[in-house]
């Protein structure tokens, strides 16, 4: 876990869910992070500093004026030495103060002076969360790069039911990992294609393949986590639409072509993970084909090769990654695709990866260096591909 050996300021504010911060502190210590707990005055009405300091294995900081010269650590040091700041639970009051630039206690002062990522886990009554001013504050903080996790939906301590519960501690931990991950694709505009295409025979039948879209979706999400602006052009897929990206659903190879070409000029990185149909029926029947003839022949014609077109039009500053699906001579065929389509990187794989949670890929670059990865989950493969892209692009 990335969290290991990181210094984390754990801010706790006054909400009934403050007791869950104790569990969060315990889990952070279990993952071998260093925890500096900071409590607001009202947080102490809900849990005791003794409990928190015991689980966090550190004294609790809470008084701004105690941390002056001569004390072990100053508020500026807390802010500057932290790798991540988490506020869990975060009240509407804390969110409002941060959004307005108010620093009137230790926690708000530390957060204002910090350069590390900040993760906020709100917890409040559902009406309070829905309040337009609170929502405006959240939008403002998000625009300034603050990370949010939750709130979750469910029964609230105040008797209400709705959105306002502190996110599950495991979700906060995962969001912390995400916030810590290097934003090494910041500034990049990434275009990813995913899934199969469908070429209509008649209104109820089509020619397609068994791609699930998982690889492309994993790449799109990983690129977004690493700070890129992402456009995902997806053929028909049952996967949930990833958040915080531009999602462009398409059906046929022609639609995929048009959508990709539309976003291509402004893209700095393109990863074509889609299994685009190479052929489509020369005509699509307007009504259902009846089973009259003994033999039915469907004439097929070539579709446009989107990636090849992009390779031809590639400009300085654009990096092209293609996939190569092969049943034989994987390395040789993948290398051929790399040069014929003018790619910067090609990811070779076999049909075993189709509609599967895992895959085994071989990554080849322009210099001919070949990296054979072991079988891995598609999220891990996405990260490995992006690691190589980042190295090669810089």
Q: Which of 166, 307, 361, 381 is the binder for ligand CTP (CB under 6 A)?
A: 307
Q: Which of 127, 305, 331, 380 is the binder for ligand CTP (CB under 6 A)?
A: 305
Contacts with ligand CTP: how many residues (CB under 6 A)? 15
Q: Which of 294, 52, 87 is nearest to 172 (CA)?
A: 87
Is there binding between residue 82 and ligand CTP (CB under 6 A)? no
Q: Which of 253, 259, 270, 338 is the binder for ligand CTP (CB under 6 A)?
A: 253
Choices 6-14, 88-96, 174-182, 305-313 (CB under 6 A): range interacting with ligand CTP: 305-313
Cβ neighbours for 115, distance < 8 A, ≥ 6 positions apart = 79, 80
Is there binding between residue 274 and ligand CTP (CB under 6 A)? yes
Q: What is the dihedral of CA 364, 195, 272, 2, to 10 degrees?
A: -70
Q: Which of 325, 363, 382, 388 is the binder for ligand CTP (CB under 6 A)?
A: 325
Q: What are phi and psi of 391, to 5 degrees?
A: -60, -45
CB of residue 302 vs ligand CTP: minimum separation in angstroms?
8
Is there binding between residue 55 and ligand CTP (CB under 6 A)? no
Q: Which of 158, 204, 357, 370 is catalytic?
A: 158
Which strands make up the sheet holding 370-372, listed edge to edge?
246-249, 229-234, 189-194, 269-272, 319-325, 345-349, 362-365, 370-372
Query: Is there a contact between 276 and 293 (Cβ–Cβ < 8 Å)?
Result: no
Is there binding between residue 224 and ligand CTP (CB under 6 A)? no
Task: Give Cα separations from 115 to 118, 199, 237, 257 (angstroms).
Answer: 9, 51, 39, 42
Is there binding between residue 324 and ligand CTP (CB under 6 A)? yes
Is there binding between residue 276 and ligand CTP (CB under 6 A)? yes
What does the radius of gyration of the chain's CA atoms come to, in whole angstroms? 26
Choices 83-91, 115-123, 298-306, 357-365 (CB under 6 A): range interacting with ligand CTP: 298-306
Nearer to ligand CTP, 54 or 284 (CB): 284
Neighbours of 187 (CB within 10 A): 10
Q: Any idea what DSSP says for residue 73?
A: S
Task: Give Cα separations from 311 to 203, 221, 261, 304 (angstroms).
Answer: 34, 24, 12, 13
Cβ neighbours for 41, distance < 8 A, ≥ 6 positions apart = 14, 62, 105
In the residue annotation, 158 being an active-site residue is answered as yes
Give CA–CA dist 373/285, Å, rounded: 44
Quick one: how far is CA 82 from the chain centroid? 23
Q: How many alpha carbons fall within 13 Å on the CB side of residue 244? A: 14
Nearer to ligand CTP, 46 or 309 (CB): 309
Is there binding between residue 213 and ligand CTP (CB under 6 A)? no
CB of residue 191 vs ligand CTP: minimum separation in angstroms?
11
Of all helices (H) and strands (E), which one includes residue 125? none
Is there binding between residue 337 and ligand CTP (CB under 6 A)? yes
Nearer to ligand CTP, 46 or 279 (CB): 279
Is there binding between residue 278 and ligand CTP (CB under 6 A)? yes
Nearer to ligand CTP, 93 or 303 (CB): 303
Choices 3-11, 111-119, 144-152, 300-308 (CB under 6 A): range interacting with ligand CTP: 300-308
The pattern of x and - marking residues 172 through 211 that bind ligand CTP according to CB under 6 A reads ---------------------x------------------
Q: Which of 82, 267, 323, 361 is the binder for ligand CTP (CB under 6 A)?
A: 323
Q: What are phi and psi of 277, to 5 degrees?
A: -65, 140
Strand 279-281 vs strand 147-148: parallel, antiparallel, or unpaired? unpaired
The site for ligand CTP (CB under 6 A) is made up of: 193, 253, 272, 274, 276, 278, 303, 305-307, 322-325, 337
* Active-site residue list: 158
């Amino acid at each position: 876990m990335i969290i290991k050996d990181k210094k984390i300021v754990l801010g706790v504010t006054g909400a009934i869910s403050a007791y869950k911060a104790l569990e969060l502190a315990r889990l952070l210590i279990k993952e071998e992070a260093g925890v500096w707990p900071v409590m607001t005055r009202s947080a102490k009405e809900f849990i005791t500093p003794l409990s928190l300091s015991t689980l966090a294995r550190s004294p609790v900081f809470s008084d701004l004026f105690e941390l002056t010269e001569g004390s072990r650590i100053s508020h500026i040091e807390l802010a500057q030495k932290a790798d991540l700041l988490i506020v869990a639970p975060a009240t509407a009051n804390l969110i409002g103060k941060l959004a307005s630039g108010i620093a009137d206690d230790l926690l708000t002062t530390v957060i204002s002076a910090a350069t590390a990522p900040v993760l906020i886990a709100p917890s409040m009554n559902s009406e309070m969360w829905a309040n337009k001013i609170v929502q405006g504050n959240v939008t403002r903080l998000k625009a300034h790069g603050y990370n949010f996790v939750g709130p979750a939906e469910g029964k609230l301590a105040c008797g209400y039911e709705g959105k306002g519960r502190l996110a599950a501690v495991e979700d906060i931990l995962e969001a912390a990992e995400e916030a810590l991950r290097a934003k090494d694709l910041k500034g990049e505009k990434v275009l990813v294609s995913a899934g199969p295409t469908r070429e209509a025979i008649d209104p109820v039948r089509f020619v397609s393949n068994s791609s699930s879209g998982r690889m492309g979706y994993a790449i799109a999400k990983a690129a977004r986590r690493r700070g890129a602006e992402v456009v995902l052009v997806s053929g028909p897929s049952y996967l949930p639409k990833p958040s915080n990206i531009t999602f462009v659903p398409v059906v046929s190879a022609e639609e995929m072509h048009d959508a990709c070409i539309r976003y291509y000029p402004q893209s700095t990185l393109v990863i074509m993970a889609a299994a685009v149909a190479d052929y489509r029926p020369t005509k699509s029947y307007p009504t259902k084909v009846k089973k009259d003839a003994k033999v039915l022949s469907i004439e097929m014609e070539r579709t446009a090769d989107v990636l090849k077109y992009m390779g031809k039009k590639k400009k300085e500053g654009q990096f092209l990654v293609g996939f190569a699906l092969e049943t034989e001579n994987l390395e040789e065929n993948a290398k051929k695709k790399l040069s014929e389509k003018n790619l910067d990187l090609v990811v070779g794989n076999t049909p075993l990866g189709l509609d599967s949670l895992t895959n085994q890929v071989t990554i080849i670059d322009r210099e001919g260096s070949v990296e054979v990865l072991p079988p891995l989950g598609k999220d891990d493969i996405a990260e490995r591909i992006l690691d190589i892209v980042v190295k090669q692009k810089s």
